[in-house]
Amino acid sequence: MKRVEKRILIKFSGEALAGEDGFGINTKVLKFLADEIKSVINEGFEVAIVIGGGNFIRGVSAAKDGIIKRTSGDYMGMLATVINAVAMQEALENDSLEVRVQSAIKMEEIAENFIVRRAIRHLEKGRVVIFAAGTGNPFFTTDTAGVLRASEIGASAIIKATKVDGIYDKDPKKYPDAKLLKEITYEEALKDNIKVMDDTAIALARENKLPIIVCNMFKQGNLLKILKNEKDAKYSIVK
């Protein structure tokens, strides 16, 4: 797939939507994120989104005591991502954007089925496309789904939205002299102490030479600043 310069995929964790509550969906956070995305669309970027489901359930934790099987827990996690996708769609529409949700698991009353050509067409028309239900398979994460979809649609990068400015050489909460790393390789990102994404996601990004931009999506105007390559923009890139 040929890369399209102005096409990006943003990956949020489910927890990002929970705000201070730590669980469920906070509409103020949704509105903030929708406004940020709108500012990017207004600059002519094409935006696809993958949202996690960790604000409701994760397969590994659901299966911890052996009552729920891991695979069922994972399907529950994928369903959680659909709840988040529908919520994000509402917030974006409330901001007058056009949005389509495409699900990796058929749910025709709620979302379109995932069809890559159709997703690309939506993006070309300026619609935001939210990819829901992860990869549709247990044992994967939404980070991997993000890298997969970004590669499929020919995005120029995947933006891993976090609450920190990027990747540091050590934990900035513990060490005030921690340095923000501007650029690291996929091999470095696979090291235990960094872990920007799980190994499967990073390995897939490496295979497809998809840059991973780690940045703070919760500072107003920050995402646009990064995408416009402004001098003082803070982020880390894995490539």
Residues 87, 15, 167: CA angle, nearest 5 degrees: 125
Stretch touching ligand UDP by CB under 6 A, among 54-62, 105-113, 187-195, 209-217: 54-62
Q: How far apart are CA 230 and CA 189, in angstroms?
A: 24
For residues 155 and 9, is the Cβ–Cβ distance under 8 A? yes
Q: How far apart are CA 205 and CA 201, in angstroms?
A: 6
Secondary structure (3-state) at 186: helix
- The DSSP 8-state label assigned to residue 164 in this structure reads S
Q: Cβ of residue 197: shortest distance to ligand UDP, in angstroms?
A: 10
Kindly write out the interface string for residues 12-41 of this chain, putting x where it contacts ligand UDP by CB under 6 A and - elsewhere: -xxx--------------------------
Q: Is 131 annotated among the ligand-binding residues?
A: no
Q: Is 146 in the site for ligand UDP (CB under 6 A)?
A: no
Kindly write out the interface string for residues 73-92 of this chain, putting x where it contacts ligand UDP by CB under 6 A and - elsewhere: xx--xx-xx-----------
> Crossing angle, helix 199-207 and helix 142-153, to 10 degrees?
10
Q: Is 39 annotated among the ligand-binding residues?
A: no
Q: Is 59 in the site for ligand UDP (CB under 6 A)?
A: yes
Residues 6 or more apart whose Cβ sits within 8 Å of residue 129? 47, 48, 49, 99, 100, 101, 102, 119, 122, 123, 153
Q: Which is nearer to ligand UDP, 34 or 132 (CB)?
A: 132
Q: Which is nearer to ligand UDP, 97 or 204 (CB)?
A: 204
Among 38, 90, 138, 225, interactor with ligand UDP by CB under 6 A: 138
**Residues at the contact surface with ligand UDP, assessed by CB under 6 A:** 13-15, 52-54, 58-59, 73-74, 77-78, 80-81, 134-135, 137-138, 140-143, 145
